[in-house]
A and B are shown apart, each in its own frame.
Chain A
């Protein structure tokens, strides 16, 4: 297989006496959806924070597109093309979709905001992702449903030309239909050539959309699986620690 977009080698992170990440190896590839699963407290969020640049690892190697990088700030991660969609989405409800998608990276003409250009780009991006549930790009986010908000948050990362998109429990708060929509969007996102990492506690969702599954158990990566070569029961076994796979 070609070089992974992101690769972690022997990553370690402790909080005082608590060893949260104990030598993690992990890869995510362009065009593939990689699930990161594990029980509460396994270390998923800690792993992600390191990739997002908001909390650096104690030691270990991080390679982005084959080159070693040091992710010490969110800005650095963003500059590489790593975008994180947090569970709370971080949208401003009082702003509309276009304004949210361009927040912090507004396009300008001279001193003033280039609204037409931003509106055009936002519309194109949403259309490119075949998003049909949003009525108007000038709708305030306050008026959007949970699934629509998730959609906007994901579209924002696409707009920023992300190479790696990390989604923290994107379907946790959604109903059946909206979950379906968001999962379809995640699939399309990967199909467009982006590497997607998705954290989820819902194995049904994981099997629906993911290509690869990595399982964390108490700070150790206990399994890397292909979705097509494993099943529900196996994954549950790894998550709960009743099964283990010796890995190099």
Chain B
């Protein structure tokens, strides 16, 4: 077995662009598809709906679609944290509703400052997350059961707080503008510039550090291609959104205010998952909890944190939802959670745990929203929408299961 030729161990960073592209296809073939299926379906669905209804590709609908998907995007990104450790939070939707119920009661009825009420909403999220985390991580109750219980219980709590059929108007202009107003034109470009610069800086920092450790770097051109694509897509979106899209005399233009919020959370969350010890341990617990435990990782603590983060981010989804609808009612958030799970899974986050990224959930949320939006435009009965979304979820979960098997088979 011992050959005399010394082959050095590579890092996957060496070689030309051609090698890198080849590596990528090898990974895809072995089942590491990431967001690829969802990006393909994104393109396919866009083409499909655009050909079926001319309104689909209008500037106004594009902006609507973005805003519509923002809530789902937040919820599915929240769920990523628990799905990564192979758990589920079926109460994420009603948690977002419950936190907003507290918010609206405190603001409208108790007359609290709205900022303090928002904070109270986050406290609700924190308490709910800790509660779930305690029962799952410390007591050992399956998360499916705990959160299903809360899913039912919180609907009751929302009813108790807001009253049967109770509906409250959001009276805070700052809050309403998140989903309903747009940034000035220049701010959209500034936002794009900031995120591109940050991405560039982080990549250069990484390359510099690798070089210092005498490790090979991927061809620089690859980074520029990646950034070029990001810049191109970003600039396309910003310029479309910056043109007046109103159908009436009052102009509507600019990037919706919700976008910088959503992108910042995506950006920071990704940094946490990719670059901190906590993120690494979260993936480890999702991949093999016993191995994580033996490596000295405090698995219950990681599980607790995942549920707390999920519930807190669900509160953000609640804020987005309340802002868009302009009201809070007892049934808020109830129907959202399965779409959130669907979005994450469609985007390529594995229900088996340990695999997936926030960006996957974000893309998945856009896919689910496109289905919703596109079918709505076709004027089909509402039931069709559920059928299609459900079908897509099962399809995505099947792709997940099959690709997982394939990855195992290459041993």
A interface vs B, CB < 8 Å? 74-75, 78, 86, 88-95, 99, 103-106, 108, 111-117, 119-120, 123, 126-127, 131-132, 134-140, 142-146, 177, 180-181, 184
Question: Could you tell me how many residues of chain B have their Cβ less than 8 Å away from some Cβ of chain A?
Answer: 45
Known: A136-B10, A146-B411. A92 touches B354 (CB 8 A): yes
Known: A142-B407, A143-B407. A113 touches B277 (CB 8 A): yes
In chain B, what residue has the closest Cβ to A104?
B295
Complex contact B296–A132 (CB within 8 A): no
Complex contact A119–B213 (CB within 8 A): yes
Complex contact B354–A113 (CB within 8 A): no
Q: Which 3 pairs from chain A and chain B are nearest by CB?
A: A104-B295, A94-B354, A92-B287
Q: Mask for B42-67, Cβ within 8 A of A = 1, else 0? A: 00000000000000000000000000
Complex contact B296–A143 (CB within 8 A): no
CA A131 to CA B3, docked complex, whole Å: 11
Number of A-B contacts (CB under 8 A): 124
Complex contact B209–A92 (CB within 8 A): no
Separation in Å of the B6 CB from the closest CB of chain A?
7
Complex contact A111–B296 (CB within 8 A): no
Secondary structure at the B interface, as helix, strand, loop or mixed, is loop
Tell me whether B212 is interfacial, beta carbon within 8 Å: yes
Tell me whether B215 is interfacial, beta carbon within 8 Å: yes
Tell me whether B12 is interfacial, beta carbon within 8 Å: yes
Tell me whether B292 is interfacial, beta carbon within 8 Å: yes
Known: A92-B354, A132-B3. A143 touches B410 (CB 8 A): yes
Complex contact A111–B283 (CB within 8 A): no
Complex contact B6–A132 (CB within 8 A): yes
Between-chain CB contacts (< 8 Å), 14 pairs: A90-B294, A91-B291, A93-B354, A94-B287, A94-B354, A99-B280, A103-B292, A105-B296, A113-B276, A116-B209, A116-B212, A119-B11, A127-B9, A140-B407
Complex contact B30–A143 (CB within 8 A): yes
Q: Mask for B1-13, Cβ within 8 A of A = 1, else 0? A: 1110011111111
Tell me whether B286 is interfacial, beta carbon within 8 Å: yes
Complex contact A123–B9 (CB within 8 A): yes
Complex contact B10–A135 (CB within 8 A): yes
CA A122 to CA B2, docked complex, whole Å: 21
Separation in Å of the B300 CB from the closest CB of chain A?
15
Q: Mask for B273-286, Cβ within 8 A of A = 1, else 0? A: 00111001101101
Separation in Å of the B5 CB from the closest CB of chain A?
9
Tell me whether B290 is interfacial, beta carbon within 8 Å: yes
Known: A95-B283, A105-B296. A140 touches B12 (CB 8 A): no
Complex contact B275–A103 (CB within 8 A): no
Chain B positions within 8 Å of A74 at CB level: 294, 296
Chain A positions within 8 Å of B206 at CB level: 115-116
Complex contact B212–A142 (CB within 8 A): no
Known: A145-B411, A184-B2. A90 touches B297 (CB 8 A): no
